[in-house]
Structure 1
Amino acid sequence: MTPDALLQAYDEAVLWPRVSSNPAPTDFDAAYQQALKVRALRIARGERPVGYKIGFTNRTIWERYGVYAPIWGPVWDTTLTHCDGHGFVDVARTRQPRLEPEIVFGIAATPPSDPALESLFACVDWLAPGFEIVQSHCAEWRFTAAETVIDGALHARLLVGQQAPVRSFAGSGDALDRLFARTRVRLYRGDELKEEGAGINVLDGPLHALLHFVRELQRCPGAPALQAGDVVTTGTWTIKLAC
């Protein structure tokens, strides 16, 4: 599919055709270049990128979806919502939406080239709980890894909760790792417990997920660097739930 066709499917919340005269790329490098073209189209029409999402950082879901490495894509001013307590996200014009509880980081400075965990920690300003609404334009959530990349890294919406300075939780990246390793989240529908997960599920911890993403972003030709003020959501702690 062309970048214009990909954006049209996103806007209209329709499934991709099963057969296309412009098949999706089959490798990550080509897929990211296609995704960058869609990004340029969205900027040209007035949308503003405000950060990134990282997907498939939870290894417990890799076999379920047949994707065995993390992916990443942009978050937009049109898809991001902040709240201090209860929040509301409109899922109209999304396709096959699902819900993910995540940790979101606020970035204070552009990370150095090929950063280590501690130098990356120094670039983080705040963290917050978040819910990402993910979606797929492939029928029944059946896709290749490359297709998830050109499908906006499956991003639809992001709700970010109350922000807290990261150093109010830990004074180092290693300490933050240890904190997340023993932290769990429970996801309820009403009073019914639906899922439970742990921070360690996310590539051994959300800061590790951020580190992996920054290194991959720096290796991607044409990808904009992470900037001060960007938000990055680091991947689901649980198995996805239908909205």
Structure 2
Amino acid sequence: MDAAAIAKTVLEAIDGGSQMQPFTTRDAAFSEADAYAVTAELRALRIARGEKPIGRKIGFTNRTIWDEYGVFQPIWGDVYDTTVRDVSPGDRVVVSQLPEPRIEPEIVLGLASDLTPDMGVEEIAASIGWVAHGFEFVQSIFPGWKFNVADCVADGGLHGRLFVGPRRILSDRERRTLAADLSSLTIRLSHDGTVIDTGVGANVLDGPIHALAHLVAVLEKDRLNPPMRAGEIVTTGTLTRAFPVLPGEKWSTEIAGVDLPGLVVRIA
């Protein structure tokens, strides 16, 4: 299967909110490596039309949801200046254009310096300039969220939109305990005022900094996609299960164990 042609098809589907048969059902040989070649082509298409890659999303870091989706390893995709927005509590967000959107409460990290494969978790934590809580809205161009891991990667890592709450600039002291602090946080996700799920930071590959370390190691072996650089933002995976959303709903979070505010958004 041609990576450039697949990327064009994927982008058309994302833009139009349409869906299609998974690539792995058309060609059983379509692999994860093939899909990351699509990632590079998809990024080139989006850059060519004026979009700017500003970071990454890491998906399927939460091991507790692997059985639900039949995907048993993390993935990643690019995020863009056109798909990321800062939000304040109570803001309305528009995601109805996405195919089958779902909400994911996540920890978002801002890189103050480049990340290299020789770095350990504590060194990576020392490279974080700011931390925030955000909602990623993921999408599936494959009906019913039925796919294999290669399909997820080819679909831009399932990224739809990322809404980032208030950013906390970190002191050197806070960076020294950041990995442990983020691993131990707890979160409650509510839908229209009713708690629908709970999670902990350790759900995402033992913690958000650990998830970022995993991505750095993956990118070391990738010759088509760039390493992590200063200035990028990274959203590290859902802390709870992901839930379908509809216009008119209110979604909110409460966070404990780390100095980050929860978020409230209304689906427009």
Partner Cα distance (2:194, 2:173) in 1: 30
Report deviation, 1:84.
4.1
Residues 115-171 of structure 1 deviation map (CA, whole Å, 9 limit, x = unaligned): 211221222100000000001011100000000000010000000000112337734
* 1:7 pairs with one of 2, 5, 11: 11
* 1:178 pairs with one of 170, 177, 180: 180
TM-score (norm 1): 0.92
CA contact (8 A) 1:114 1:218 kept: no
* Alignment partner, residue 206 of structure 1: 208
* 2:221 pairs with one of 219, 222, 241: 219
The amino acid that maps onto 2:10 is L
* Alignment partner, residue 57 of structure 2: 53
Map 1:1-243 to 2 at 5 A: 2-17=6-21, 23=27, 26-167=30-171, 170-172=174-176, 175-243=177-245
Residues 52-83 of structure 1 deviation map (CA, whole Å, 9 limit, x = unaligned): 00000000001111111100000011100012
| CA RMSD, Structure 1 to Structure 2 (Å) | 2.0
Partner Cα distance (1:233, 1:62) in 2: 18
Partner Cα distance (2:13, 2:56) in 1: 21
Partner Cα distance (2:22, 2:127) in 1: 43
Residues 172-208 of structure 1 deviation map (CA, whole Å, 9 limit, x = unaligned): 2xx2233233311111112211111110101000000
Partner Cα distance (1:241, 1:25) in 2: 31
The amino acid that maps onto 1:61 is I
Report deviation, 1:20.
9.5
The amino acid that maps onto 1:124 is I
TM-score (norm 2): 0.84
Partner Cα distance (2:230, 2:23) in 1: 41
The amino acid that maps onto 1:167 is S
CA contact (8 A) 1:12 1:93 kept: yes
Range with greater deviation from structure 2 (17-26 or 131-140):
17-26
Range with greater deviation from structure 2 (24-33 or 56-65):
24-33
Partner Cα distance (1:112, 1:234) in 2: 18
CA contact (8 A) 2:116 2:216 kept: no
Unmatched runs of 5 consecutive residues or more in structure 1: none
The amino acid that maps onto 2:77 is G
Q: Cα distance 1:74–1:24, how it changes in 2: closer, same or farther (>3 A)?
A: farther
Range with greater deviation from structure 2 (63-72 or 219-228):
219-228
Aligned residues: 241
The amino acid that maps onto 1:217 is L
Range with greater deviation from structure 2 (226-235 or 51-60):
226-235
CA contact (8 A) 1:112 1:119 kept: no
Where 1:157 maps in the other structure, the secondary structure is strand
Where 1:159 maps in the other structure, the secondary structure is strand
Residues 202-234 of structure 1 deviation map (CA, whole Å, 9 limit, x = unaligned): 100000001001111222112122222111000
Where 2:171 maps in the other structure, the secondary structure is helix
CA contact (8 A) 2:62 2:239 kept: yes
Percent identical residues: 41
Q: Cα distance 1:20–1:232, how it changes in 2: closer, same or farther (>3 A)?
A: closer
Partner Cα distance (1:189, 1:168) in 2: 36
Unmatched runs of 5 consecutive residues or more in structure 2: 246-268
Residues 69-107 of structure 1 deviation map (CA, whole Å, 9 limit, x = unaligned): 100000011100012433332113200000000000001
